[in-house]
Amino acid sequence: MQVSEYIRNTINRFSLGYVFTYRDFNPEVNDREAIIKALNRMVAKGEIAKLSKGKYYKPKETIFGLVPPDQYQVVKDLLGKGDRIIGYLTGYSVYTKLGLTTQVSNTIQIGRNETRPALQRGLYKISFVKQRNTITEKNIPLLQILDAFRFIKKIPDTTINDACKGLFEIVKNFNESDQVQMIRLAKKYPPATRALLGAMLERVLDKKAVEPLVNSLNPITKYKIGVSINCLPNATKWNIQ
């Protein structure tokens, strides 16, 4: 079977939007240069699309043009190494998914223990957020929420009060085990994040449960978040302004 025929048959098995590189064709085809040349010929013919250098995808075509791959596909190589999770999607795409904003961004943010400089892939700018907790499949949803607490002032197309209300509804509906887990994870977040989380969880958990957050804060430090008392009635108690 010719290289071009093998590549075309392999791509036909990929789902629409799947991002791939020449490595997806190994070990059956070991000639890297031949694979890349064949892929670039397919791009020129419009059979596949190129995301960035060395990255291609099977596009879905609509009346409005080609649909880009979803954000996970764009950055999946930056989220895992073999079977090990090293990062997770956070920031703007998660704010939209959580209903905290309706704005769609071309910036993809990734939480990782070890960050790296920002980079560009096609239309997307990819940036990194330092995560001090160990990242696991189970705690990623909680880390995404805590990141939203941390960067509440940067959530686009909303107000601090509306974002605060949205976050409260989210954490209020978590089970108690997840709420307690959030308290543990929050210890490695900035004080303002811990204060805001503590003020919200105090309204749904008993006083003893939030004591670790209370004890982690400097009692004379003020946190200028910009949330109103109407939105967070116990804000003053937690030194939130």
The per-residue pLDDT for 28 is: 54
Asked if residue 153 is part of any domain, the answer here is no
Instruction: Give 112's strand partners.
Output: 87, 130
One domain for residues 96 and 53: no
In a domain, 148, yes or no: no
Q: Is residue 150 part of a domain?
A: no
Q: Are residues 164 and 236 in the same domain?
A: yes
Q: Give me 17's structure tokens.
A: 């939007």
pLDDT at 25: 85
Looking at the structure, do residues 165 and 233 belong to the same domain, yes or no? yes
Whether residues 22 and 100 share a domain: the answer is: no
- CATH at 55: 1.10.10
In terms of DSSP H, where are the helices of the chain?
3-12, 32-44, 71-75, 92-97, 140-150, 160-172, 176-186, 191-201, 211-215
Do residues 173 and 239 lie in contact, with contact meaning Cβ atoms separated by under 8 Å?
no
Angstrom distance (rounded) from CA 124 to CA 131: 21
Q: Structure tokens of 35? A: 């694979």
**36 and 113 belong to one structural domain:** no
- Residue 36: inside a domain: yes
Q: How many domains does the chain have?
A: 3
Picking from 67, 88, 113, the residue at the C-terminal end of a domain is 67
What's at 136, amino acid-wise?
T
Q: Render each residue's pLDDT in the chain as its tens digit; 241 residues.
A: 577 888 899 999 999 999 999 888 875 556 788 888 999 999 999 999 999 989 999 988 888 777 889 999 999 999 998 889 999 999 998 999 999 998 888 999 999 999 999 999 988 999 999 999 999 999 999 999 999 999 999 999 999 999 999 999 999 999 999 999 999 999 999 999 999 999 999 999 988 899 999 999 999 999 999 999 999 999 999 999 9
Total-model pTM: 0.90
Residues 45 and 8 occupy one common structural domain: yes
Domain residues for 23?
3-67
3-state helix, strand, coil in the chain (%, to 5): 40, 15, 40
Final residue of a domain: which of 28, 49, 67? 67
